[in-house]
Amino acid sequence: MTLEILTHDLLDGVRHGFFTRKGGASSGLYAGLNCGRGSKDQNDVVATNRARVAEVMGVSPERLAGVHQVHSANVVTVSAPEEAEKTNEIQADGLVAATPGVALSVLTADCQPVLFADVDAGVIGAAHAGWRGALGGVLEATVDAMRALGAKDIRAVIGPTISQGAYEVGWDFMDEFTAEDADYQRFFANGPNGKPMFDLPAFGLSRLRAAGVEAEWTRHCTYSDPERFFSYRRSSHRREADYGRLISAIALPG
């Protein structure tokens, strides 16, 4: 099956894609394009899926850079294509680069995948931004790292992520946000079970725009579309043993 790749006009000028689960070689719980090395899927099958993504992105598999994601605000600068293989063991949640020949990637399964570009400056970025990373500043840290490489007019797109209608949280969760800024209460709504519902993409957009970045969300909900997207929360609700990981990637032309 052909891979399904979501793109956005805001990132025109750079090769990019938010890959859905369609296509790929995985089966069972991971059916389709599972790119998560940390999943319990077969290693060789995950490698095959990642190689297919790399081909679409115009790079060799070893030039598909990722990081060991830990919900942090740490960002890695990839200064040369040959550094891509070394980044996989680094604990971080953002990557930036200003060199062709490497594709930056992040893995998600409800968290926000965010792709960044300043086309004129030739600088790109990618971030994994769950609630903890977004609150901790990973989006701003990625923007700062891009600016350190000469970026000025940065645009960003949030890919498929869990929507507010599917994201019930506890009161202590909301308290953690409002303790940092009382205005963050606007990202929560009353849910049907008497608990708050958190709007993760709205929060991400707010942080990006406050950092001076033009930003949009593709408006795809991972939880509510099992045919296209993996979802950690959906798998948990179904009491499944594991879940697949979606990949999002961006690369400079050349």
Confirm whether 85 is domain-assigned.
Answer: yes
CA-CA distance, 243 to 202, in Å (whole number)? 25
Name residue 251's beta-bridge partners. Answer: 15, 103
The pLDDT score that the predictor gives to residue 62 is 96
Confirm whether 125 is domain-assigned.
Answer: yes
Average the pLDDT over 98-125 and give the result: 98
Which tokens go with 233? Answer: 């929360």
Number of domains in the chain: 1
172-223 pLDDT tens trace: 999 999 999 999 999 999 999 999 999 999 999 999 999 999 999 999 999 9
Cβ–Cβ < 8 Å for 3, 22:
yes
Cβ–Cβ < 8 Å for 246, 23:
no
Confirm whether 180 is domain-assigned.
Answer: no
**For the whole model, what pTM was predicted?**
0.97
Residues 173, 76, 199, CA angle at the centre, nearest 5°?
Answer: 25
The pLDDT score that the predictor gives to residue 1 is 64
The pLDDT score that the predictor gives to residue 253 is 84
Boundaries of domain holding 11:
5-163+199-251
52-78 pLDDT tens trace: 999 999 999 999 999 999 999 999 999
82-109 pLDDT tens trace: 999 899 999 999 999 999 999 999 999 9
Confirm whether 205 is domain-assigned.
Answer: yes
CATH number at residue 103: 3.60.140.10
Confirm whether 187 is domain-assigned.
Answer: no
Confirm whether 9 is domain-assigned.
Answer: yes
CA-CA distance, 206 to 107, in Å (whole number)? 22
CA atoms lying within 13 Å on the CB side of residue 92: 26
Confirm whether 183 is domain-assigned.
Answer: no
Confirm whether 121 is domain-assigned.
Answer: yes
